[in-house]
């Protein structure tokens, strides 16, 4: 057993950063150590645009129970998950937030029980008549506070579900709880404020078209100056073949923008026509985090409209973990990208999209395919100053696939990295692929008011990283998720790592790719002469 004490303190808030252990051990339980008010709550201006009450409604208990009933009938999985837990305990030590915080309510089964106990009280015979016997509880103020607090200490990573013999998915229960909270007017500021911008302006940052266009033009200039090649970052090009939907962090923040630079270079080398859309310039869809199908759909429909208006034949997704989950798992029924959707616009889009390609397709699948067909050339030595490891992002790892092959979501990113880097090492097997540990900032937790749980939740990933740093000299952590990249930039230094060691996979591609140089005025006569001589 290890102690979670440490000398280091964070300036802004007085909490202790856990020391990295030699290996992950189950911590002593510290009841209530993460109790609190939860993240900042959304005020009216962030609630009402999403269709939620502006503040906590007077009859909130009645509304909450009615909402639970609605969700129980709408999503059969919720009722199955709530009814089937046998308290075997297999999930208890699988959550990074429990391992990092030691608060027993961060054990997945205990987190579920916050919801399950109320479900039992109101929706089961035994819970109605013999509540104490079956652990049924009322939804009172204390329980509501616990819901708000502890369901915002779940990144919906689904690691616990991998180890549950019944496949109970705490992420879905967490989404349902957040949906109930929004229905009674107790929403989370971070997610709901962002969603308001995404569904009205088209991206999480509220970046208007002129700002986006300027950013992309600046990027083109910088790349041409650096490489001598006119790599383009097109916006709103009607008739382009590919519409790229990428997280808006790619437009400005490090290390994300280096990934965007890489996508552009790959498109350039392939010679394909592509575009981004100022109307739908966001891949992230926080509607999934708050459990709201309606809000998730509003964001997804902007993408459908952009695809129809721009008359593209392919839709591609950039490096964003939950965006890929929403695209891969839900876009078909949300928007008609893929095989689902039967409304007029879905059918029109399906007719328009080229069925010879996966719809949607991940940028990793695209680059991997070009590499496999020998269409890209690399100088791997450009990355020889790095020893790289790969962090499997939760939503990609446990909720999607790539390449249409079993475990493709683990294989393809690694093969892309190995095609552009000579030095690659995996972290310990129990911490990657389907067992990957969350970065600690997913599921709508990437806000500074949740910094304590973000740092504590990062502990298992940091421990595995420290191990390969020690044993193999790993100095670069690659990821294909915008949230992971932002989270790691913040938490790496808390555990004595270089914050710049986190990179986009397409940054590694960008550094190694050999671009066709256009003929310059100086080189032209020589090349022409050479051709004549040949
Ligand atoms: S989904 Fe992830 S964060 Fe949530 S309880 Fe399970 S392991 Fe923890
Ligand atoms: S592993 Fe599954 S069945 Fe066992 S306690 Fe956890 S949720 Fe319940």
**Residues 81-133 pLDDT 10s:** 999 999 999 999 999 999 999 999 999 999 999 999 999 999 999 999 999 99
Q: Is the pLDDT of residue 152 over 50?
A: yes
Identify which ligand lies nearest to the alpha carbon of 156. 1
Query: Does 191 sit in the ligand 2 pocket, CB within 6 Å?
Result: no
Query: Does 109 sit in the ligand 2 pocket, CB within 6 Å?
Result: yes
What is the reported pLDDT for 517?
Answer: 66
At residue 221 the predicted structure's pLDDT band, cuts being 50, 70 and 90, is very high
Q: Is the pLDDT of residue 522 over 80?
A: no
As a whole number of angstroms, the distance between CA 408 and CA 397 comes to 9
pLDDT mean over 164-176: 97
Dig out the tokens for 244 from the structure: 């790229």
Query: Which pTM was predicted?
Result: 0.93
- For residues 355-383, one letter each, b for 16 or more C-beta atoms within 10 angstroms of the residue's C-beta and e for the rest, the string is eebbbbbbbbbbbbbbbeeeebebeeebb
C-alpha 320 to ligand 1 mean position (Å):
19
Query: Does 101 sit in the ligand 1 pocket, CB within 6 Å?
Result: no
What is the reported pLDDT for 12?
Answer: 46
Query: Does 97 sit in the ligand 1 pocket, CB within 6 Å?
Result: yes
At residue 534 the predicted structure's pLDDT band, cuts being 50, 70 and 90, is very low
C-alpha 92 to ligand 2 mean position (Å):
8
Residue carrying the six token digits 């005020």? 43
What is the reported pLDDT for 5?
Answer: 37
Between residues 3 and 123, the one the model is more confident about: 123
Q: Between the CA of residue 440 and those of 41, 419, 434, 508, what are the distances in Å?
A: 20, 29, 16, 24
Residue with CA nearest ligand 2 atom 1: 164
Binning the chain into helix, strand and coil, the percentages to the nearest 5 are: 55, 5, 40
C-alpha 87 to ligand 2 mean position (Å):
5
**Residues 346-365 pLDDT 10s:** 899 999 999 999 999 999 99
Query: Does 399 sit in the ligand 1 pocket, CB within 6 Å?
Result: no
At residue 281 the predicted structure's pLDDT band, cuts being 50, 70 and 90, is very high
At residue 526 the predicted structure's pLDDT band, cuts being 50, 70 and 90, is very low
As a whole number of angstroms, the distance between CA 467 and CA 427 comes to 8
C-alpha 1 to ligand 2 mean position (Å):
23
Among residues 230, 290, 222, which one has the least CA distance to residue 265?
Answer: 230
Cβ-in-10-Å burial (0-12, 13-18, 19+) of 305 comes to middle
Q: Is the pLDDT of residue 313 over 80?
A: yes
On average, the pLDDT of the chain sits at 93
> Percent of the chain at pLDDT above 90?
88
At residue 14 the predicted structure's pLDDT band, cuts being 50, 70 and 90, is confident
Q: Which atom of ligand 1 is nearest to the CA of 394?
A: 2
What is the reported pLDDT for 167?
Answer: 96
> Percent of the chain at pLDDT above 70?
94
As a whole number of angstroms, the distance between CA 168 and CA 435 comes to 15
Between residues 347 and 7, the one the model is more confident about: 347
Identify which ligand lies nearest to the alpha carbon of 453. 1
Residue with CA nearest ligand 1 atom 8: 95
**Residues 377/337, Cβ–Cβ less than 8 Å:** no
At residue 11 the predicted structure's pLDDT band, cuts being 50, 70 and 90, is very low
pLDDT mean over 485-503: 97
**Residues 389-447 pLDDT 10s:** 999 999 999 999 999 999 999 999 999 999 999 999 999 999 999 999 999 999 999 99
Query: Does 111 sit in the ligand 1 pocket, CB within 6 Å?
Result: yes
Which residues have a Cβ under 8 Å from the Cβ of 162 and sit 6 or more positions away?
A: 94, 398, 434, 435
Q: Which atom of ligand 1 is nearest to the CA of 98?
A: 8
**Residues 17-47 pLDDT 10s:** 888 988 888 999 999 999 998 999 999 999 9
Query: Does 121 sit in the ligand 1 pocket, CB within 6 Å?
Result: no
At residue 78 the predicted structure's pLDDT band, cuts being 50, 70 and 90, is very high
Q: Which atom of ligand 2 is nearest to the CA of 88?
A: 4
Identify which ligand lies nearest to the alpha carbon of 173. 1
**Residues 457-467 pLDDT 10s:** 999 999 999 99
Query: Does 91 sit in the ligand 2 pocket, CB within 6 Å?
Result: yes
Residue with CA nearest ligand 1 atom 7: 95
Q: Which atom of ligand 1 is nearest to the CA of 443?
A: 3
Identify which ligand lies nearest to the alpha carbon of 109. 2
Q: Is the pLDDT of residue 518 over 70?
A: no
Q: Between the CA of residue 69 and those of 56, 57, 120, 291, 344, what are the distances in Å?
A: 19, 18, 12, 15, 32
- Whether the CA torsion 178, 182, 186, 191 is positive or negative: it is positive
β-sheet bridge partners, residue 275? 243
What is the reported pLDDT for 459?
Answer: 97
C-alpha 84 to ligand 2 mean position (Å):
8
């Amino acid at each position: 057993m290890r102690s979670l004490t440490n000398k280091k303190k964070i300036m802004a808030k007085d909490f202790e950063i856990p020391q990295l252990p030699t290996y992950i051990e189950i911590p002593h339980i510290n009841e209530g150590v993460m109790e609190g008010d939860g993240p900042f709550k959304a005020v009216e201006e962030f609630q009402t645009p999403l269709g939620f009450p502006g503040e906590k409604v007077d009859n909130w208990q009645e509304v909450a129970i009615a909402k639970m009933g609605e969700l129980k009938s709408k999503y059969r999985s919720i009722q199955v998950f709530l009814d089937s837990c046998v308290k075997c305990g297999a999930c208890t030590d699988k959550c990074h937030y429990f391992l990092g915080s030691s608060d027993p309510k961060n054990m997945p089964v205990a987190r579920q029980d916050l919801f399950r106990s109320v479900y039992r009280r109101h929706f089961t015979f035994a819970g109605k008549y013999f509540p104490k016997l079956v652990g049924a509880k009322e939804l009172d103020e204390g329980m509501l506070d616990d819901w708000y607090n502890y369901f915002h200490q779940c990144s919906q990573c689904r690691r616990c579900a991998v180890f549950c013999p019944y496949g109970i998915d705490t992420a879905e229960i967490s989404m349902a709880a957040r949906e109930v909270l929004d229905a009674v007017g107790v929403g989370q500021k971070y997610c709901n404020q962002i969603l308001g911008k995404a569904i009205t302006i088209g991206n999480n940052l509220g970046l208007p078209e002129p700002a986006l266009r300027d950013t992309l033009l600046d990027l083109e200039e910088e790349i041409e100056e650096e490489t001598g090649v006119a790599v383009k970052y097109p916006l709103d090009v009607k008739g382009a073949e590919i519409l790229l939907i990428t997280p808006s962090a790619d437009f400005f923040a490090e290390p994300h923008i280096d990934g965007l630079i890489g996508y552009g270079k790959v498109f350039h080398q392939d010679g394909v026509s592509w575009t981004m859309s100022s109307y739908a310039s966001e891949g992230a869809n926080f509607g999934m985090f708050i459990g709201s199908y309606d809000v998730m759909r509003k964001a997804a429909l902007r993408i459908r409209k952009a695809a129809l208006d721009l008359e593209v034949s392919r839709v591609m997704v950039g490096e964003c973990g939950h965006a890929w989950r929403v695209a891969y798992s839900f876009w078909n029924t949300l928007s008609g990208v893929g095989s689902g959707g039967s409304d007029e616009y879905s059918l029109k889009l399906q007719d328009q999209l080229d069925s010879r390609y996966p719809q949607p397709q991940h940028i990793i699948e695209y680059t991997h395919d070009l590499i496999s067909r020998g269409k890209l050339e690399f100088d791997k030595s450009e990355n020889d100053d790095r020893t790289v490891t790969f962090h499997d992002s939760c939503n990609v790892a446990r909720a999607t696939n790539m390449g249409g092959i079993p475990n493709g979501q683990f294989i393809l990113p690694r093969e892309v990295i190995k095609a552009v880097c000579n030095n690659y090492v995996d972290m310990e097997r129990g911490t990657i692929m389907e067992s990957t540990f969350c970065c600690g900032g997913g599921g709508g937790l990437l806000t500074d008011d949740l910094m304590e749980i973000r740092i504590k939740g990062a502990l298992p990933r940091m421990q595995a990283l420290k191990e390969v740093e020690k044993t193999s000299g790993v100095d670069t952590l690659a990821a294909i998720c915008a949230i992971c990249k932002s989270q790691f930039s913040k938490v790496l230094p808390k555990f004595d790592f270089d914050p710049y060691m986190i990179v986009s996979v397409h940054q590694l591609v960008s550094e190694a790719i050999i671009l066709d140089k256009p003929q310059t005025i100086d080189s032209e006569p020589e090349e022409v002469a050479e051709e004549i001589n040949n």
